Structure 1
Amino acid sequence: MNNKTNNLDTVYQRIWEAIVAHKLLPGTRLKEEDLSETFGLSRGFVRKLLLQLSYHKLVNLVPNSGAFVAEPSPEEARDIFQARRLIEAELVRELASKCTVREKKLLLEHLEREHQAIEQGEQSLRIRLSGEFHLLIGKLANKPVLTSFLHEIIPRSSLIVALYQDAGARKGKARHSGLSCSEHNALLDAIAGHHVDKAVQLMIDHLNEIEAQLQLEPAAEEDVNLKNIFAEL
């Protein structure tokens, strides 16, 4: 491994990307020895990395058990999406008010990569690019403080989607992928056209749609008829 790979920020970013792409799912155990071997790091370096991931709520450190990819609660999920609506409404408002030809080109190039990932069936890449589209809006809006908050909560959003996406949404992944990309296209059109209010509403609607696909309410309890169950055995 070269020095760049061993850099804490670089390894953190690779784990961040794996979470965003749903390659590391909620509850996955992150063994120190495996991380040490994978990235060519010392155990002390790995512990420092896990502490940083824990600080950003991406990993839970359980005494005498180890480190696990976080499993956000339904309450946290609602809070995260509320925060995203507040932050991203302001970011898209700012960008739509001043979007240049160059910024439109950057957004369009990114969306073309999303379309290509969908066409090639690269679901993990498509998920990662979708999150990065939102971060690109923040970057182009030139609001570094708000964008830093977004950089922290988008991986947590990805964990939430992986954990709570309902069965119907899972079965219709291809359709939802296309829908999400279509919504990004509409956002780009509104931003590039300087339609500020429309862009803000589209962003809010887009985030509402993602949240609506989640099963955050507990399943209704069903009465269990023990006689019927054991009569069939």
Structure 2
Amino acid sequence: MQSPKTSDVDTVYQRVWEAIVAHKLLPGTRLKEEELCETFGISRGFVRKVLLQLSHHKLVNLVPNSGAFVAEPSPAEAREIFQARRLIEAELVRELAGKCTEQDKRLLEQHVAREHEAFEGGQLSLRIRLSGEFHLLIGQLANKPVLTSFLHEIISRSSLIVALYQGTSPRKGKQRIYSPCSEHTGLLEAIAARDVQTAVDLMREHLNEIEAQLQLEPPKEEALDLKAIFSEL
């Protein structure tokens, strides 16, 4: 095989990133080099370059003599990631809401429409990926490439966190079915109206809601009543 070009490395990296964001690659999944070679038609050396780049961005853990595994963020890291998102995304939405054009509004509307279609069609993986891309679109339209680059990395780490911790949330059964689409619609309206403060407040509330869906605290151990347990047998 020929030596891969930088653009090829970026393409494969982006494909893996999309799979993580869409929850198709879950935390702890082993990424076998030989399977990646066959999937993308690339050399083992090329695969290792991609895995090293993913490891550098903390999306993959490289374990000596064991292989590469999709990262499993800790609860402490999860809290820090959402703290970072609130700081970065508040500034991005502030910037965009202050200067939103009709073209910006149309692009946001088209994206939210795609999210709703995916939600209504039951396309869960697509909906999750589009949800993350909506936040990146805000950064791109705000024309803040450095902040958006940081956001690109932490959104994928957020997706790992959601995949790892949301399924065990004790609040999940007690709350309404959470749909980021509806909150994105509210954000869109505030941005289009150039209502800066409302847009910032909605973004923070949106990220707070996502974090609130997670079970980041270990379950409390309840004292066992052995008499009660065995009296039922």
What's the secondary structure of 1:175's corresponding residue? coil
Deviates more, 1:157-166 or 1:222-231: 222-231
Closer, same or farther in 2 for the Cα pair 1:213/1:113, shift >3 Å? same
Closer, same or farther in 2 for the Cα pair 1:40/1:137, shift >3 Å? same
Residues in 1 aligned to 2:227 and 2:45: alpha-carbon distance in whole angstroms: 56
Residues in 1 aligned to 2:56 and 2:46: alpha-carbon distance in whole angstroms: 15
1:46 to partner: Cα distance:
0.7
1:41 to partner: Cα distance:
1.1
Structure 2 gaps, min length 5: none
Residues 168-217 of structure 1: CA deviation (Å, up to 9, x unaligned): 5766999212xx11110000000000000000000000000000000000
Residues in 2 aligned to 1:227 and 1:16: alpha-carbon distance in whole angstroms: 52
1:221 to partner: Cα distance:
1.6
Equivalent position of 1:102 in the other structure: 103
Closer, same or farther in 2 for the Cα pair 1:231/1:30, shift >3 Å? farther
What's the secondary structure of 1:67's corresponding residue? strand
1:223 to partner: Cα distance:
3.4
**TM-score normalised over the length of structure 2:** 0.91
Equivalent residues in 2 for 1:122-133, closer than 5 Å:
122-133=123-134
The AA in structure 2 aligned to 1:64 is N
Residues in 2 aligned to 1:176 and 1:163: alpha-carbon distance in whole angstroms: 17
Equivalent residues in 2 for 1:151-230, closer than 5 Å:
151-165=152-166, 166-167=168-169, 175-177=177-179, 180-224=180-224
| Contact residue 169 and residue 176 of structure 1 kept, 8 A | no
1:7 to partner: Cα distance:
1.1
Residues in 2 aligned to 1:163 and 1:93: alpha-carbon distance in whole angstroms: 30
Closer, same or farther in 2 for the Cα pair 1:38/1:230, shift >3 Å? farther
Structure 1 gaps, min length 5: none
1:222 to partner: Cα distance:
2.8
Closer, same or farther in 2 for the Cα pair 1:25/1:119, shift >3 Å? same
Equivalent position of 2:8 in the other structure: 7
Closer, same or farther in 2 for the Cα pair 1:53/1:174, shift >3 Å? farther
Closer, same or farther in 2 for the Cα pair 1:172/1:35, shift >3 Å? farther
Give the fraction of aligned pairs with identical amino acids, expressed as a percent: 75
Equivalent position of 2:57 in the other structure: 56
| Contact residue 187 and residue 202 of structure 1 kept, 8 A | yes
Equivalent position of 2:136 in the other structure: 135
The AA in structure 2 aligned to 1:217 is E
Residues in 1 aligned to 2:133 and 2:13: alpha-carbon distance in whole angstroms: 16
**TM-score normalised over the length of structure 1:** 0.91
Deviates more, 1:164-173 or 1:143-152: 164-173
The AA in structure 2 aligned to 1:129 is L
Closer, same or farther in 2 for the Cα pair 1:230/1:68, shift >3 Å? farther
Residues in 2 aligned to 1:25 and 1:156: alpha-carbon distance in whole angstroms: 11
The AA in structure 1 aligned to 2:208 is N
Equivalent position of 1:26 in the other structure: 27
1:79 lines up with 2:77 in the alignment: no
Residues in 1 aligned to 2:115 and 2:174: alpha-carbon distance in whole angstroms: 17
